Structure 1
Amino acid sequence: MPHMPIVILMAVYNGARHMQAQLDSIAAQDHQDWSLIVGDDGSDDDSRKIVDAFAASQPGGRVRRIDGPRAGATANFLHLVDAAPEGCALAFCDQDDVWLRDKLARAASALASHGAGAAHYSARTIIAGPDLKPLGPSPRFTRPFGLRNALVQACTAGNTSVFSPSAAAILRAGAGAARRADVVSHDWWAYQLIAASGGSILKDDQPVLLYRQHGGNEMGRNDTWRAKVKRLGMLFDGDFGRWMRANVNALQGADDLLTPEARDITAHLQSLLAASGPKAAAGFAQLGLYRHEAAGTAALYLAAAAGRLRQRG
């Protein structure tokens, strides 16, 4: 098993109901070279007591609890990126999942085999009910992962994501721009930034955790027809264009981290998001932007052509 210190970043808000199972699964990891920083975002349940008791059960200094910015999950994760020590890999962690024993080991092995470069590892999940009864695996994506996908689809599951030390340094350098741009999703932003900086996106088709569904998930499952239709509908409701503009602003706010090609792509995309519908759709095609599902790509282009991604007002 490769030697790779991994700092786990866990954003918490009123997670007492499910958190102990997640913490126990972290303690049971095959890869034991980990530490944990918990950002508590002002919980008024027993979350802090549970974290502190877990910290007391571990070697001194292995688990640390800090106060979050109280501005939502994405801001909490960005705050945790800032708080993480340098020189370590970083792993995002949700408060209500349960990790399989080999989750960190698989990530460490994939990142180690990739060398010292910037790399973002993510994997599939097992979607589960509130009682953790498995419902089925998350979708398997077959198209390439990269910037032209990342700009229009969040598909590297944040709860599985682990970043090499070099990628972690890029996230730390870009977090301020993401915060100023008010990005909506930390994992989508991370996928975009690592891809735009020339890093490698490593996708593991093996599920590595139980993704608990309980009605309070930030995003929730995406494997049913109802969930897919709902997500495609988001392309037309105006919010998706706003999210894309925020993401582009975050990338351009950290343009010193980007490759020259990524700078050109983001600048072009920014202009397209202010263009008329037909021009925007044609520009999307020229840039080669795509979602993993053919229906998703078609819906994206239709939304662009209909002017639903254009800034209003």
Structure 2
Amino acid sequence: MVDILLATYNGEAYLKEMLDSLLGQTMQDFHVYIRDDGSTDGTPVILEGFRQAYPDKFTVIHDDQSIGNARDNFFALLSYAKRDYVMFADQDDIWQPDKIALTAATMKIAEDDLGEGPLLAHSDLTVVDGDDRVLYPSLFALQKLDPERLYLNQLLPQNNITGCTVMMNRALVRIVRTRKEALMHDWWIGLAAAAFGHIVVAPNRIHYRQHQANAVGAKDVKSASYFRQKLSNTGGIRESIAATYRQAEAFLEIYQDMLSDEQKELIRVFTSLGECNALKRMRLLSKYKLYKSGVYRKIGQIIYG
């Protein structure tokens, strides 16, 4: 029923706990495809041990390529997924026992309501430390993200989808076309789901581990240190906004044959924002509802976009 795609790299510290959490799922109709991107620690040994112990559950892919980033590692894994539903998994998280079951139930309810077109489910995350102690019960609240931002105009400027919470149906997997301008696999696939199908929100059943190697993933956007960091790097703000324009341009180019005229106009307006003065940019952001969530992010779009 479900294929789980796990991209690994030097993940020995928490990998066994993550794999054990998969084996502890209440829904056992799944298979895990794992691609390691040249780990130099004990990750390959751990993976081989699980593969040998549970050959019906784990396939480790050996293609002798070093990709160098998580985005393309996950994109490479997509070609191995053949089942009705596909999930992404990160090497250091912990899945609660009913995560697959509840996410699949969310998908089935949505398909009954919306039909069998492209569909993506995602959820909030609980942020924990290296010892699985809860730091923040909600990543959405921590980063002031709105899970109900489900539409193309809302996802072009800002991603609220975290890959390790995602489940996709076969109809969505079939239409994924990749480009190097994609900022992350979850954002890119979220754009496809928003443009050609639907996005729904599932229950939060994952512990997202905050540790030294992935600390960039869960920052408190309400903290004074976060604002100081942002204000000290306005060039970085401009570049991050410009990267969203490049991603949108690539999305428009690769999906020209599938996008409606209205969607093409929306994307063209979005990619033109960097060439506008602040007043015109503010007007277009409002007209096409292209603002990010949060007051300070909106101000950043107007000033630096």
Pairwise TM-score range, normalised by the shorter structure: 0.7 to 0.9
Which one of 110, 124, 137 corresponds to residue 114 of structure 1?
110
Shift of 1:245: 2.3
Which one of 47, 71, 75 corresponds to residue 72 of structure 2?
75
How many angstroms apart in 1 are the aligned matches of 2:164 and 2:215?
Answer: 11
Residue aligning to 1:41: 37
Residue aligning to 2:169: 164
Query: Per the alignment, do residues 110 and 228 of structure 1 end up closer, same or farther by CA in structure 2, a change over 3 Å counting?
Result: farther
How many angstroms apart in 2 are the aligned matches of 1:228 and 1:119?
Answer: 34
In structure 2, what residue type is equivalent to 1:146?
Answer: Y
How many angstroms apart in 1 are the aligned matches of 2:59 and 2:274?
Answer: 43
Shift of 1:300: 2.3
Give deviations 1:229-287, integer Å, cap 9, x for gaps: 37965776222123212311331122223343322211222223333443333222221
Query: Per the alignment, do residues 61 and 144 of structure 1 end up closer, same or farther by CA in structure 2, a change over 3 Å counting?
Result: closer
- Give percent identity, aligned residues only: 24
Residue aligning to 2:276: 275
SS in 2 for 1:114: helix
Residue aligning to 1:309: none
In structure 2, what residue type is equivalent to 1:290?
Answer: Y
In structure 1, what residue type is equivalent to 2:247?
Answer: N
Shift of 1:101: 0.8
Shift of 1:215: 1.6
Deviates more, 1:157-166 or 1:273-282: 273-282
In structure 1, what residue type is equivalent to 2:33?
Answer: I
Residue aligning to 1:249: 249
In structure 2, what residue type is equivalent to 1:128?
Answer: V
Residue aligning to 1:201: 199
Residue aligning to 2:184: 185
Shift of 1:142: 5.9
Give deviations 1:34-76, integer Å, cap 9, x for gaps: 1111121111111111111111121447423344542211111
Query: Per the alignment, do residues 15 and 291 of structure 1 end up closer, same or farther by CA in structure 2, a change over 3 Å counting?
Result: same
Check whether the contact 1:52–1:65 (CA below 8 A) recurs between aligned residues.
Answer: no
In structure 2, what residue type is equivalent to 1:97?
Answer: D
Tell me if 1:214 matches 2:214: no
Check whether the contact 2:210–2:218 (CA below 8 A) recurs between aligned residues.
Answer: yes
Which structure 2 residue ranges, 5 or more long, are not aligned? none
In structure 2, what residue type is equivalent to 1:159?
Answer: C
Query: Per the alignment, do residues 229 and 255 of structure 1 end up closer, same or farther by CA in structure 2, a change over 3 Å counting?
Result: farther
Deviates more, 1:228-237 or 1:99-108: 228-237
SS in 1 for 2:126: strand
Check whether the contact 1:37–1:64 (CA below 8 A) recurs between aligned residues.
Answer: yes
Residue aligning to 1:150: 155
Check whether the contact 2:3–2:86 (CA below 8 A) recurs between aligned residues.
Answer: yes
How many angstroms apart in 2 are the aligned matches of 1:260 and 1:21?
Answer: 48
In structure 2, what residue type is equivalent to 1:191?
Answer: G
Matches within 5 A, 1:218-233: 219-223=216-220, 225-226=222-223, 229=227
How many angstroms apart in 2 are the aligned matches of 1:261 and 1:80?
Answer: 32
- TM-score, normalised relative to structure 2: 0.86
Tell me if 1:91 matches 2:87: yes
SS in 1 for 2:206: strand
C-alpha root-mean-square deviation of aligned residues, in Å? 2.3
In structure 2, what residue type is equivalent to 1:169?
Answer: R
In structure 2, what residue type is equivalent to 1:247?
Answer: Q
Residue aligning to 1:126: 126
Shift of 1:146: 1.1
Query: Per the alignment, do residues 165 and 131 of structure 1 end up closer, same or farther by CA in structure 2, a change over 3 Å counting?
Result: same
Give deviations 1:156-194, integer Å, cap 9, x for gaps: 1111111111111122xx12xx23x3x221111111121
In structure 2, what residue type is equivalent to 1:188?
Answer: W
Residue aligning to 1:31: 27
Shift of 1:299: 2.9
Which structure 1 residue ranges, 5 or more long, are not aligned? 305-313
Shift of 1:121: 0.6
Deviates more, 1:58-67 or 1:27-36: 58-67
- TM-score, normalised relative to structure 1: 0.84
Query: Per the alignment, do residues 142 and 66 of structure 1 end up closer, same or farther by CA in structure 2, a change over 3 Å counting?
Result: same
